């Protein structure tokens, strides 16, 4: 057979985000791991995804569950070792699934050797210059250098015994790197090559809009600033220097064929967001508008139009995401219970009919809701940092239920406490239950991904069609029409044959439902 090179495999790929702690636990310690993912690759093959995004599995004290990296070129023992990673990569490639991994260039762990050295070194030293060590304000320097809050709560500055302060946009255990220091760039390039040489297919760049800091570290207005999010006028993020970092990342990736980088860019302005996907920067950027839209036709339409507008003329596809490990799951955002499930089914068919890239967060395919653990079980640093005001993101990180029964539903051995408690009542959501049920969320995802992979109707651009009030309708150039009824009343469908629908359709399209027609 002649091998035809496939251009830009990621352009219409379906990525599956594996939150490594929560996907599958092979060694039975209550925490997911790399061998666990390998052991459950069959689920991903059956689902039909093209690529994985693995959240950080690097050496880490786990203050922010791995987003505090002490060694970016090794595997934390809780997740396995480099050999386990290589085994997973090989196994995924064997079944035709690409593997992309997180890279965390905004900060390190406070236990990274660089930061340990910085603490042991005097103010003004080369070791301190890899981070943002600054003298404080006030006669004795006892006030922080500026008024920035940390994203997780509390100030973004911590004072060290000799009187200097260091910057951490996240937890104090996550000191921000100084991207004006060439050593920082060299080390990132080394990390990228380390994993590229092992064979990874690409990277998800954490806090891709952070990295560069504004000259003089000016104060910000703090009124109306929320934990765990930022607005476009926030000086902590989206500074122009960030683009140098993305050009560096791209230049390294360009040394290797067929690799890509996607940035976690929380920037809402289209013009500003578009800058991240210039030809010598990120291959594509997350667009988070769907995570912020409510289940209303006007908000969904606006989110889609703006997402398409962001990339118009750039040659870059847009990228659709309902949920990830940082936001409340969309089943819950859309109302929980049967209503949330029903809307999430409609949402899945909407997402998978849109042109571009789709990210499925582990558990989306099972229709998992967000579940708040009890206070004493919370682990997100935000809970402590906010003085128990903001519960944080544990609710969307509960381990996956694999088999029917009681917690931990086959995630870990029965007697083991999972790292976050799994709720009662998840038996119907378990993967082995849904696998056998043609009407399950899992079966819907499988059917949609199968069609997406082979149906010519799902190619080309999108054209909006007239739709009844409260509905969305569009046609792909390839000929498939997608109609989403965001109301709770049936609406007539346009002529055509229904090839897939989120609920059974006989005639009209019921409320909170999506149909694909040809």
- Provide the annotated active-site residues: 206, 255
Nearest-10 crossing angle of helices 182-198, 242-253 = 30
* 131 Cβ contact list (under 8 Å, min separation 6): 114, 115, 118, 166, 167, 175, 176, 177, 178
165-167 and 133-134 beta bridge pairing: antiparallel
For residue 434, state whether it binds ligand ISL (rule: CB under 6 A): no
The counts of H helices and E strands in the chain are 15, 18
For residue 229, state whether it binds ligand ISL (rule: CB under 6 A): yes
For residue 22, state whether it binds ligand ISL (rule: CB under 6 A): no
For residue 207, state whether it binds ligand ISL (rule: CB under 6 A): yes
Whole-number minimum distance, CB 509 to ligand ISL, in Å? Answer: 35
Three-class SS of residue 47? Answer: helix
Among residue numbers 99 through 118, which ones bind ligand ISL (CB under 6 A)? Answer: 104
**With CB under 6 A as the contact rule, which of the stretches 229-237, 348-356, 479-487, 507-515 interacts with ligand ISL?**
229-237
Identify which of residues 154 and 510 has a Cβ nearer to ligand ISL in the complex.
154
**With CB under 6 A as the contact rule, which of the stretches 191-199, 211-219, 222-230, 245-253 interacts with ligand ISL?**
222-230
Site string for ligand ISL, 278-297 (x = CB under 6 A): --------------------
* 165 Cβ contact list (under 8 Å, min separation 6): 133, 134, 135, 136, 144, 145, 157, 158, 159
Residue 358, beta-bridge partner list:
14, 320
**With CB under 6 A as the contact rule, which of the stretches 20-28, 74-82, 224-232, 437-445 interacts with ligand ISL?**
224-232
Whole-number minimum distance, CB 384 to ligand ISL, in Å? Answer: 14
For residue 390, state whether it binds ligand ISL (rule: CB under 6 A): no
Among residue numbers 144 through 203, which ones bind ligand ISL (CB under 6 A)? Answer: 151, 170
* 109 Cβ contact list (under 8 Å, min separation 6): 60, 61, 63, 68, 69, 70, 115, 173, 174
Among residue numbers 254 through 273, which ones bind ligand ISL (CB under 6 A)? Answer: 264, 266
For residue 64, state whether it binds ligand ISL (rule: CB under 6 A): yes
Q: Which residues of 138-174 are buried (b: 16+ CB within 10 A; e: fewer)?
A: eeeeeebbbebbbbbbbbbbbeeeeebbbbbbbbbbb
Compute the chain's Rg from CA coordinates: 23
**One of 91, 127, 228, 465 touching ligand ISL (CB under 6 A):** 228
Whole-number minimum distance, CB 274 to ligand ISL, in Å? Answer: 17
The number of beta carbons lying within 10 Å of the beta carbon of residue 260 is: 22
Q: Footprint of ligand ISL on this chain (CB under 6 A)?
A: 64, 67, 104, 151, 170, 206-207, 228-230, 237, 264, 266, 325-326
């Amino acid at each position: 057979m002649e091998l035809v090179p496939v251009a830009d495999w990621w352009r219409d790929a379906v990525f599956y985000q594996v939150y490594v702690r929560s996907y599958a636990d092979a060694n039975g310690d209550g925490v997911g791991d790399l061998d666990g993912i390998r052991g459950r690759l069959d689920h991903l093959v059956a689902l039909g995804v093209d690529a994985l995004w693995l959240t950080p599995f690097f050496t880490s004290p786990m203050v922010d569950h791995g987003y505090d990296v002490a060694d970016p070129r090794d595997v934390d023992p809780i997740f396995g070792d480099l050999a386990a990673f290589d085994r997973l990569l090989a196994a995924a490639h064997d079944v035709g699934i690409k593997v992309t991994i997180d890279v965390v260039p905004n900060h390190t762990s406070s236990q990274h050797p660089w930061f340990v050295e910085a603490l042991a070194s005097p103010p003004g030293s080369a070791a301190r210059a890899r981070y943002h060590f600054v003298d404080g304000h006030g006669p004795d320097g006892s006030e922080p250098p500026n008024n920035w809050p940390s994203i997780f709560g509390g100030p973004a500055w911590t004072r060290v015994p000799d009187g200097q302060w260091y910057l951490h946009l996240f937890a104090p255990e996550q000191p921000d790197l100084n991207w004006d220091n060439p050593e920082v760039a060299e080390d990132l390039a080394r990390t990228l090559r380390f994993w590229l040489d092992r064979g990874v297919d690409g990277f998800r760049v954490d806090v891709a809009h952070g990295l560069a800091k504004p000259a003089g570290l000016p104060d910000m207005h703090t009124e109306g600033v929320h934990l765990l999010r930022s607005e476009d006028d926030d000086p902590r993020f989206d500074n122009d220097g960030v683009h140098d970092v993305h050009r560096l990342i791209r230049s390294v990736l360009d040394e290797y064929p067929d690799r890509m980088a996607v940035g976690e860019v929380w920037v809402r302005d289209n013009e500003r967001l578009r800058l991240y996907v210039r030809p010598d920067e990120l291959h594509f950027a997350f667009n988070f508008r769907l995570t912020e839209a409510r289940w209303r036709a006007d908000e969904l339409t606006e989110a889609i139009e703006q997402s398409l507008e962001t990339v118009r003329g750039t040659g870059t596809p847009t990228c659709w995401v309902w949920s990830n490990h940082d936001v409340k799951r969309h089943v819950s955002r859309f109302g929980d219970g049967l209503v949330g499930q029903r809307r999430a089914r409609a949402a899945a068919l909407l997402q998978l009919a849109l042109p571009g890239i789709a990210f499925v967060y582990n558990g989306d395919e099972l229709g998992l809701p967000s579940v708040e653990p009890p206070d004493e079980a919370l682990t997100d640093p935000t809970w402590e940092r906010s003085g128990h005001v903001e519960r944080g993101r544990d609710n969307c990180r509960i381990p996956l239920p694999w088999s029917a029964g009681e917690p931990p539903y086959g995630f870990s051995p029965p007697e083991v406490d999972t790292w976050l408690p799994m709720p009662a009542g998840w038996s119907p959501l378990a993967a082995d239950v849904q696998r056998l049920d043609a009407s399950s969320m899992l079966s819907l995802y499988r059917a949609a991904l199968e069609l997406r992979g082979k149906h010519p109707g799902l190619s080309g651009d999108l054209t909006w069609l007239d739709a009844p009030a409260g509905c969305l309708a569009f046609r792909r150039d390839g000929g498939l029409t997608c109609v989403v009824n965001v109301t709770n009343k049936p609406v007539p469908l346009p002529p055509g044959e229904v090839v897939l629908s989120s609920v059974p359709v006989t005639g009209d399209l019921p409320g909170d439902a999506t149909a694909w027609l040809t």
